[in-house]
Amino acid sequence: MAESNTRIALITGASRGLGRSAALKLAEQGMDIILTYKDNGNKAQEVVHQITALGRKAVSLQLDVGDSGGFSAFAGRVKGALLDTWQRDQFDCLVNNAGTGLQAPFAETTEEQFDMLVDIHLKGTFFLTQKLLPLIRDGGRIVNISSGLARFSFPGYAAYAVMKGGIEVMTRYMAKELGPRGISVNTIAPGAIETDFGGGAVRDNAQVNAQIASITAMGRVGLPDDVGGAVAALLADGTHWISGQRIEVSGGMVL
């Protein structure tokens, strides 16, 4: 198999928001990118064009992280993309980012809502990573995206935060079990960031925005590049010895 030194990162949910920013930051840093989307193929294609304009290669693939039954077929499509575009059979970095939130009081959260979050965040991160393991090279990296809400508690996020707490435990076990292959695994836990997430409330609701800014050391809410830059830094050369860690990227929320 022909090998090049260019590192390849696979980022789930990179058509918008934090994943898109991470993809562009990593491309600026010299990486090639496989990015996924669920519905917004056009937006994913725009990101591909932006990465290509930076002189890097990129491919976008459709993926529903809430449907673990589709993960084997997805791994096959990743393998095909690696062969077609890079003449390689493995990639270097996986960023488990795709996801949606849920705002519902503990007393009113339904089993259906809970199960939906389990499928996307817990089963998604666990079994997608499992299926992709043969395609990740020894010495590679994995970043799982959690949330500040796994540390501090805001009413209305019980079910969502439980999932993110699970992702943080999962990260430590992945780090332990994949360490012998030289793969480091870490959690990045963003604070509240201006994206479409949660109906875009942090970005579009001035009251919410000001309230979060008031409890953030840096005095404002986060922007996508605040997190994209952190993901890129954690996947840069020279940081592979960091493993099993939770790094909060929140500008110092609720310190």
Which residues are at the interface with ligand NAP (CB under 6 A)? 12-19, 37-40, 43, 63-66, 97-101, 120, 145, 147, 190, 192-193, 195-197, 202
Among 37, 157, 160, 173, which one carries the catalytic annotation? 160
Closer to ligand NAP by CB, 98 or 136: give it. 98
Residue nearest to ligand NAP (CB): 17
Q: Would you state the structure tokens that stand for residue 54, as one six-digit string?
A: 């930076």
Q: Which residue number, 102 or 137, has a Cβ lying nearer to ligand NAP?
A: 102
Q: Which residues have a Cβ under 8 Å from the Cβ of 139 and sit 6 or more positions away? A: 181, 182, 183, 240
**Residue 254 burial (C-beta neighbours within 10 Å; 0-12, 13-18, 19+):** middle
Nearer to ligand NAP, 49 or 181 (CB): 49
SS3 8: strand
Q: How far apart are CA 165 and CA 80, in angstroms?
A: 34
The CA distances from residue 184 to 31, 89, 137, 208, in Å, are: 18, 20, 11, 36
In angstroms, the CA 110 to CA 104 distance is: 9
Smallest separation, CB 249 to ligand NAP (Å)? 9
CB of 182 to ligand NAP, least distance (A): 26
**Residue whose CB is less far from ligand NAP, 37 or 86:** 37
User: Active site includes 160?
Assistant: yes
Nearest-approach distance from CB 91 to ligand NAP, in angstroms: 18
- For the bound state, the minimum distance from the C-beta of residue 98 to ligand NAP, rounded and expressed in Å, comes to 3
Measured in whole angstroms, how far is the alpha carbon of residue 108 from the centre of its chain?
Answer: 28
Q: What angle do CA 22, 27, 29 make, to 5 degrees?
A: 95
3-state secondary structure at position 235: coil
End-to-end CA distance of the chain: 50
Q: Residue 35 half-sphere exposure, CB side, CA atoms within 13 Å? A: 36
Residue placing its CB nearer to ligand NAP in the complex, 99 or 140: 99
C-alpha 50/C-alpha 27 separation (Å) is 9
Nearest approach, Cβ of residue 83 and ligand NAP (Å): 23
DSSP state for residue 151 in the 8-state scheme? T
Residue closer to ligand NAP, measured from CB, 124 or 140: 124
Q: How far is the CB of 107 from ligand NAP (least distance, A)?
A: 22
Q: Which residues belong to the active site?
A: 160
